[in-house]
Chain A
Amino acid sequence: DAKTTQPTSMDCAEGRAANLPCNHSTISGNEYVYWYRQIHSQGPQYIIHGLKNNETNEMASLIITEDRKSSTLILPHATLRDTAVYYCIVRVDGTGGFKTIFGAGTRLFVKA
Chain B
Amino acid sequence: GAGVSQSPRYKVAKRGQDVALRCDPISGHVSLFWYQQALGQGPEFLTYFQNEAQLDKSGLPSDRFFAERPEGSVSTLKIQRTQQEDSAVYLCASSLARDRQYTFGSGTRLTVV
Contact = CB atoms under 8 A, between A and B. Distances in A.
A34 B95 CA distance: 14
A54 interface: no
A3 B59 CA distance: 17
Interface residues of A, number: 21
B51 interface: no
A43 B105 contact: yes
Interface residues of B, number: 24
B42 A43 contact: no
A93 interface: yes
Contacts of B58: 99
Nearest to A87: B42
A46 B103 contact: yes
A28 interface: no
Given A41-B106, A43-B107, A99 B59 contact: yes
A46 B48 CA distance: 18
Contacts of A104: 41-42
A85 to B, nearest CB: 8
Interface centre among A93, A98, A102, A105 (most CB of B within 10 A): A98
A100 B33 contact: yes
Interface of B: 4, 33, 35, 41-45, 48, 55-56, 58-59, 91, 93, 98-99, 101-107
22 contacts: A34-B101, A36-B102, A42-B107, A43-B4, A43-B91, A43-B104, A43-B105, A43-B106, A44-B93, A44-B102, A45-B104, A46-B101, A46-B102, A85-B42, A93-B99, A94-B99, A98-B48, A99-B45, A100-B33, A101-B45, A103-B42, A104-B42
Interface of A: 34, 36, 41-46, 49, 85, 87, 93-94, 98-105
